[in-house]
Amino acid sequence: MQKSFVLPATFPCSKTSVEGLQDALDTIREFDIDVIEYYCESRNSDKISGLLGGLESVFLTAALQKQQNLRPCSPDASERKKAVELMTESMRFAEQAGARSVLINSGRRPDDEKKDDDCHKYLMESLCALHNSVKNIGILVEPGDRDIEYRHLIGHTKSAVMFIQEIRKYIQNISLVFDMSHIAQLSEDLYDSWDVAKDYCPHVHLANCSLVEGSEFYGDKHPPFGIKDGVYSHSAALEFYKFLCDTNTSLTIGLEIICHTGSAKDFFWSYAKETDWFLKKRK
């Protein structure tokens, strides 16, 4: 089992410059983390590869998708073309910087759910185009909420697994990401969904959310565990973490907690103490 950390969630400065990325990495370097999930607007692959050192990495192309509203599943051909072009550029950079995979999402689903099947077809075409352009880097598809905030095409676990089963006929190095927060937003049971998805998910995100409308953390906000109106307590997150550790040693398990206010470093140190069952200092 490897432990991963979703860097830009806690440290937004890491997205904008190499210096911001270095500052964030320096803060967490003393912790026992094997994999860094990151996004950086700088495309200096040599410098970024050097900063990461011996750490493995996953490049968050999904952050670019969110930033520019890229929908590889869009029914609009020009919109899909733009998404594929920009996502291909990010995948090429990720490969040059030494990332083992990129993490993406499907993009927003159509308002008319009857058009989902067409959009699944468009998404498959887009992903095949991405893979054919950059063959030697893995693709991680992260299902998201269907109805709460981002309204992803790829959402519910059973349909996400069916999509991966189909696309693996054309792309072998493609898998799913299992995110606790998204499972809750899809109104699915955590353990039942894992049982369905486990053979297709080498990567898991430990993350929280609130399903209480009116809460400042309602939707896909990934607040710390144990907050008022949150879905998952620290004990629930720890229980699932231990369960994963006991069932699959080849997993990468990442922690994703978003800083919403104040100093990112102060925020990190406050929840690092509460999450010491995951964030352990190197010996």
Question: What pLDDT sits at residue 113?
Answer: 86
Q: How confident is the model at residue 133 (pLDDT cuts 50, 70, 90)?
A: very high
* pLDDT tens digits, 40-79: 999 999 999 999 988 999 999 999 999 999 999 999 999 9
Give which of 59, 61, 58, 51 is closest to 28, Cα–Cα: 51
Look at residue 282 and tell me if it is in a domain.
Answer: no
Please compute the mean of the pLDDT values over residues 131-144 and round it to a whole number.
Answer: 97
Give which of 130, 110, 108 is closest to 220, Cα–Cα: 108
| Contacting residues for 216 by C-beta, under 8 A, at least 6 apart | 260
Look at residue 283 and tell me if it is in a domain.
Answer: no
Look at residue 25 and tell me if it is in a domain.
Answer: yes
Range(s) of the domain holding residue 228: 2-274
Look at residue 255 and tell me if it is in a domain.
Answer: yes
CA angle 123–186–35, rounded 5-degree value: 70
Q: Is 0.85 surpassed by the pTM of this model? A: yes
Please compute the mean of the pLDDT values over residues 21-27 and round it to a whole number.
Answer: 97
Q: 261 or 142: which carries more pLDDT confidence?
A: 142
Look at residue 262 and tell me if it is in a domain.
Answer: yes
Q: Residue 164 in 3-state DSSP?
A: helix
Look at residue 280 and tell me if it is in a domain.
Answer: no
Provide the number of structural domains found in the chain.
Answer: 1
* pLDDT tens digits, 184-238: 999 999 999 999 999 999 999 999 999 999 999 999 999 999 999 999 999 999 9
- CATH number of the domain residue 57 falls in: 3.20.20.150
- pLDDT greater than 90 at residue 152: yes
